[in-house]
Structure 1
Amino acid sequence: MITTLMVRLHAVLLLLLFAAAEQAEKQQQQQQQPPITLPGCPDRCGDTPIPFPFGTKPGCFRDGFEITCNDTFHPHRAFLALAGGASQHIAEIHYEVGWNYPVKRVDHENTGIELMEISVANGSVRAYGLVSSLCNVANLSDYVAKCQDIALGERSPFLLSVARNILVGVGWRVEPRIMSYLWSAHHNTTYEFSLACLSNLVGMPSLLQLATNGSCTSRGCCQAALPEAAPLTDFGIWFNFYNNTMWLTNPCSYAMLVETGWYNFSTPDMYGFEVLPRRYPRGVPFILDFSIRDKDGGGACPAEGQPPPPGYACVSGNSYCANTTGAAGASHGYVCRCLDHYDGNPYIANGCQDIDECNFRDKYPCSTDGICKNKLGGYDCPCKPGMKGDGIKGTCTDKFPLVAKVIVGGISGIFVMAALLFLILIHKEKQKTIEFYKKNGGLTLEKAKIIKLFKKEDLDPILKSRNFIGKGGFGEVYKGLLCNEEVAVKKPISGSILENEQFANEVIIQSQVIHKNIVRLIGCCLEVDIPMLVYEFLCNGSLEQILHGNNKVPLTLCRRLSIAAESADGLAYIHSKTNTKILHGDIKPANILLDGNFVPKISDFGISRLIARDKQHTGSVIGDMSYVDPVYLQTGLLTEKSDVYSFGVVILELISRKKSKHSDGSSLVNNFLEAHKNGKKGTELFDKEIAAAGDMEILDSLVVIAVECLNLDVDKRPSMIEVAERLIILSRSRKL
């Protein structure tokens, strides 16, 4: 009993000793971290460190470096104080189409510039800048430009960084401008500098010339670097006005001053309303350089041998002063920096502390045969015991006797043989991967340079049973996260995939289709026996599941009209507006997917891969027999009117919420055609959820469109463009 008690006491004492040692180590680490601001001054605002000369309270900052810490946010956010003269605001300009000049301007209240981080080592701050936009807001009758103005002040310590910022424009046709200006006593504006770039997709003859992800070369995205002489202290980010003929899918253009290399253009950025301002509500990062200046806007480092002037900022030992320049090489004050082998804040006493060079081997080399030892203002790297030479220069050589070398050599030989065997196995596996890649048309897709080619290991984490979401004629579908984006990975079943030339051709065709109502093909993986396709993931599943699944989702008539109109617009696009005519061949609710806002997107271009080389006849029927055009079954000739027939069946399913082929063997198409032939309204066939008395006229119009699509005389069927236009008109009339 006593022995057990003593053992427990011993264990408790050991735990207390370990806890005390850990706490002491933490306190030592905190004591070793040099201060970044003056004693008694807050050194953070929320998650943002605030180093001196910046500060949030009186006595904690130099003139012009005041920070406002806004505590209404959680965590708190840091802003350059308006009292210092630095601010930004949005000017809202209204244009009337046809006149192309402003009809109204609204200047919003000035706001402080929000900071992301402050670097005293680089003499810069990273801040949020608003995204300017030019949007059509009322069906081509009115444009609104929300343009950003930034004022830093002529005597401000801040200056826009020329080297680390860039002007970017995004849109179908957009010409953003940066204009630097001076305000006279009578509020007239004189422009000192103007910079612009132009993105123009109007009149592009080929889809190959359209915008591509990651490419900012004037097609959907343009950029312009700031020249050395740019006097950007007070400036605005504005637009040259152009009428936008693509307002249905591309209502907005954008302009932003952004940190070089930060923004990566993506083609979906061109589609939708206020996409970038909504994605970046706080703004995008841009860089301001800062320097120490006196009240008159001057200031410079003291000449060699001269005493520092009053208020000299470089107060830390082991620091030095460097003059800075603004536009055209004009003096713009100075900055303070720590000497080499020191780090910290040179603007406070004892702020520059000795660094441990052994933690920075890239900058301060020490060979693996050396022992790195820190010392004040530098470091040593003597060779390990039993060796001679200089570890910094990498000249350490061993002093081992010959016998020891022979023994070590023998052991090393065994390891080398094992390593060679391992490398051979890896090589065989890699060779197999290369063969799959070539067999699946990888070389063809490499030359096209229009789609992402993923490695097998990129998709392996997604292809788990827990991520399985469905199975179709093509194969299995898995949901996962790839490059921070939700995707659907299609893993074909054996025998369902095409020959390599046809597969590559299908991928090229699908990747050229950019439309808001077409499922976006992101990429593919060719390093497996049967290649896999990666698509964007749509969270609401298929129209088939929405209409006929176990958990039916309520659908208003407005939503059904919108689904029909936008699906038709997507089909019309692939029929008539792509560089290569694409026929779907398998239009049905299961191949119409819906995103979180119930926006439909057409998926699975099954037939298109068979006619990729101008082939229109096929010996075998591909598609769901409940939706296949009877004329196609008789002739084997697939045309765009075959898709029109299938879409007519989809319209009937939308308004009736009944499957095209009933469980009792009856046909939805025959029931509607019979009712229409006999002059009946088909009221009993409509879904009771939408069969309101006031909507019967619209429902009857939908039946008329569907019946025309189902006409056995192919020439009398409307085109998908006509169907889309009529559905759009019906959809708008229902919303009014």
Structure 2
Amino acid sequence: MYADINECDPSNKDKYPCYGVCKNIVGDYECSCHTGYQPSGGGPKKQECNPKFPVAAQLALGVSLGFSFLVVVVLFTLMMLQRRKMNEYFKKNGGSILQNVDNIVIFSKDEMKKILKNNSEVIGQGGFGKVYKGRLKDNTLVAVTTSIEVTEAQKEDFTNEVIIQSRMMHNNIIKLLGCCLEMDVPMLVYEFAANGSLKDILHSDASHLVPLTLDLRLDIAIESAEGLRYMHSSISHTIRHGDVKPANILLTDKFVAKISDFGHPSFLLFGVVLLELISRRQTIYGKNRSLIIEFQEAYDQANSGRLLFDKDIAIEEDVLILEEIGRLAMECLNEKIDERPDMKEVVARLMMLRRSRKLKQENYNISRQQFFEENSIDELPKSFDDNSSSSSAELLSNLATKNSLTYRSTTGRD
């Protein structure tokens, strides 16, 4: 009977060599490399197996794993320090109070990065820094601006201002949507005004000037005054906007005026806005010529600012309205603050001018249509044009006389 030889017996290793793991089978034996090793040359029955990972590779792998672990630890530490820093900024900037305000969204630093993305388009200059164009998750366009660096002493004032702005619900005041407090200098997120500032519209270079009718200018004046009136009287914490100028009046895609930038106080008042609207000239223009002084001298010497009106709107039938706007502007700029009209009166007078102009146009259109129908002619005599709107012209004339006397009495000029 055939007896199987155990080739894997240590006593047979010289006759049946195996440089790995030996496994006896009937009539033969199997030899395989140890785990982590691989056959070399003639295989494990003839020579030793080679390591799958050489010592150098094992050393490199160990170093790499150790370095990776160190990097992870460092990154985690930096992340925790960054998170702690952001929490400190959040508290310093009044986050513990503002996070409980209903009308404002608190954006995280990561959310702000997504809002701005790589879009570093600068759309303006605010009171404290540049204004950037951003986009919310729902694709709503927004304007993002930096605020001021808030010290512990300013913390209460800053939080109160943000709260007040968030509660201002008026169509003619730019809406504060939210803020990011997780950075040294807070960022404020406002609704977007597609047409930029009134300054840009009024005073861009000639090749980019936007045509502005008198009706549109009156609308902008009234809407701006409405926003200021609301700020002055219609909220629990009255804000006196100290920086009223065309640069701080923004216009939407439909040219709705919105007051913005509650920044540094100055002596530029609403009267300047009115003067720039009717003249389309900047406060300082030409060779250091002062728009305010020019109008002041015009009304003192000729009781008329006609030569300063923008020629695009200074047509004969609108001169009286422009004169009234000019006089109102000069009253707003009166050196005696207590003799300036309040914003309620300003709104009322501007609205009256708009109504009188509309009345004049309606009277003209109705009379013209009736004349054509009754006389069946194709051409209207010039004399008819001159008399068709006498009622509204008389109203404006009376108003001009009254306000001219008022202006002279308040300024003490004859």
Task: Establish whether TM, by shorter chain, passes 0.5.
Answer: yes
Change (3 A) 1:727 1:474: same
Partner of 2:242: 585
Distance (Å, rounded) in 2 between the aligned partners of 1:661 and 1:502: 34
SS at 1:453 equivalent: strand
Partner of 2:197: 542
Partner of 2:324: 701
Partner of 1:721: 344
**Alignment check: 8 A CA contact 1:490 1:533 kept:** yes
**Alignment check: 8 A CA contact 2:175 2:190 kept:** yes
Distance (Å, rounded) in 1 between the aligned partners of 2:189 and 2:347: 28
Partner of 2:281: 658
Change (3 A) 1:715 1:491: closer
Choose from 575, 589, 603 the match for 2:232.
575
Change (3 A) 1:606 1:473: closer
What are the within-5 Å matches in structure 2 for residues 249-264 of structure 1? none
1:504-531 C-alpha deviation (Å, 9 max, x unpaired): 1110111110000000000000001110
Distance (Å, rounded) in 2 between the aligned partners of 1:494 and 1:504: 12
Choose from 422, 437, 440 the match for 2:93.
440
1:648-676 C-alpha deviation (Å, 9 max, x unpaired): 11101100001111231221111111111
**Alignment check: 8 A CA contact 1:655 1:687 kept:** yes
1:383-416 C-alpha deviation (Å, 9 max, x unpaired): xxxxxxxxxxxxxxxxxxxxxxxxxxx99x9788
Distance (Å, rounded) in 2 between the aligned partners of 1:713 and 1:492: 33
1:262-303 C-alpha deviation (Å, 9 max, x unpaired): xxxxxxxxxxxxxxxxxxxxxxxxxxxxxxxxxxxxxxxxxx
**Residue identity in the other structure for 1:437:** F
Choose from 487, 510, 517 the match for 2:142.
487
Partner of 2:122: 468
Q: CA deviation at 1:452?
A: 0.6
Q: CA deviation at 1:548?
A: 0.4
Q: CA deviation at 1:583?
A: 0.7
**Residue identity in the other structure for 1:594:** L
What are the within-5 Å matches in structure 2 for residues 155-166 of structure 1? none
Larger Rg: 2
Distance (Å, rounded) in 2 between the aligned partners of 1:441 and 1:696: 52
What are the within-5 Å matches in structure 2 for residues 131-530 of structure 1? 420-461=73-114, 462=116, 464=118, 466-484=120-138, 485-492=140-147, 499-530=154-185
Bigger fraction of residues in strand? 1
**Alignment check: 8 A CA contact 2:94 2:159 kept:** yes
Choose from 353, 361, 380 the match for 1:730.
353
SS at 2:110 equivalent: helix
**Alignment check: 8 A CA contact 1:476 1:492 kept:** no
5+ residue gaps, structure 2, are 1-61, 360-414
Distance (Å, rounded) in 1 between the aligned partners of 2:160 and 2:270: 26
**Alignment check: 8 A CA contact 1:518 1:601 kept:** yes
Q: Quick check: 1:566 aligned with 2:223? A: yes
Distance (Å, rounded) in 1 between the aligned partners of 2:259 and 2:153: 21
**Residue identity in the other structure for 2:317:** G
**Residue identity in the other structure for 2:212:** L
Partner of 1:132: none
**Residue identity in the other structure for 1:694:** E
Change (3 A) 1:716 1:471: closer
Q: CA deviation at 1:417?
A: 7.3
Distance (Å, rounded) in 1 between the aligned partners of 2:199 and 2:152: 25
Q: CA deviation at 1:697?
A: 1.2
**Residue identity in the other structure for 1:441:** G
Distance (Å, rounded) in 2 between the aligned partners of 1:602 and 1:417: 53
SS at 1:448 equivalent: coil
Distance (Å, rounded) in 1 between the aligned partners of 2:251 and 2:220: 9
**Alignment check: 8 A CA contact 2:119 2:134 kept:** no
1:580-618 C-alpha deviation (Å, 9 max, x unpaired): 1111100000000000111100001125xxxxxxxxxxx
**Residue identity in the other structure for 2:284:** K
Partner of 1:291: none
Q: CA deviation at 1:448?
A: 3.0
Partner of 1:371: none
Identify which of structures 1 and 2 has the higher relative contact order when contacts are C-alpha pairs closer than 8 Å and 6+ apart: 2
Q: CA deviation at 1:568?
A: 0.3
Partner of 1:115: none
Distance (Å, rounded) in 1 between the aligned partners of 2:128 and 2:75: 37
**What's the TM-score once normalised by structure 2's chain length?**
0.66
1:664-707 C-alpha deviation (Å, 9 max, x unpaired): 12211111111112243221100000000001111111112112
1:130-188 C-alpha deviation (Å, 9 max, x unpaired): xxxxxxxxxxxxxxxxxxxxxxxxxxxxxxxxxxxxxxxxxxxxxxxxxxxxxxxxxxx
Partner of 1:306: none
Q: CA deviation at 1:447?
A: 3.2
**Alignment check: 8 A CA contact 2:92 2:150 kept:** no
Q: CA deviation at 1:465?
A: 5.8
**Alignment check: 8 A CA contact 2:271 2:332 kept:** yes
Quote the RMSD (CA, aligned, Å).
2.5
Q: CA deviation at 1:463?
A: 6.0
Distance (Å, rounded) in 1 between the aligned partners of 2:350 and 2:151: 36
**Residue identity in the other structure for 1:435:** E
Structure 1 outlier segments of 4+, above 6 Å: 413-418, 493-498
**Alignment check: 8 A CA contact 1:476 1:493 kept:** no
**Alignment check: 8 A CA contact 2:298 2:304 kept:** yes
Distance (Å, rounded) in 2 between the aligned partners of 1:684 and 1:465: 45
5+ residue gaps, structure 1, are 1-409, 608-621, 630-645
Q: CA deviation at 1:421?
A: 4.7
**Residue identity in the other structure for 2:197:** S
Distance (Å, rounded) in 2 between the aligned partners of 1:559 and 1:511: 28
Distance (Å, rounded) in 1 between the aligned partners of 2:126 and 2:82: 30
Distance (Å, rounded) in 2 between the aligned partners of 1:501 and 1:535: 21
**Alignment check: 8 A CA contact 1:565 1:731 kept:** no
Distance (Å, rounded) in 2 between the aligned partners of 1:482 and 1:590: 25
Q: CA deviation at 1:734?
A: 2.3
1:612-635 C-alpha deviation (Å, 9 max, x unpaired): xxxxxxxxxx33xxxx16xxxxxx
Change (3 A) 1:494 1:448: closer
SS at 1:678 equivalent: helix
SS at 1:712 equivalent: coil
Change (3 A) 1:586 1:677: same
Q: CA deviation at 1:499?
A: 2.7
Distance (Å, rounded) in 2 between the aligned partners of 1:683 and 1:711: 20
Distance (Å, rounded) in 2 between the aligned partners of 1:553 and 1:573: 29
**Alignment check: 8 A CA contact 2:295 2:305 kept:** yes
SS at 2:190 equivalent: strand
**Alignment check: 8 A CA contact 1:523 1:534 kept:** yes
SS at 2:124 equivalent: strand
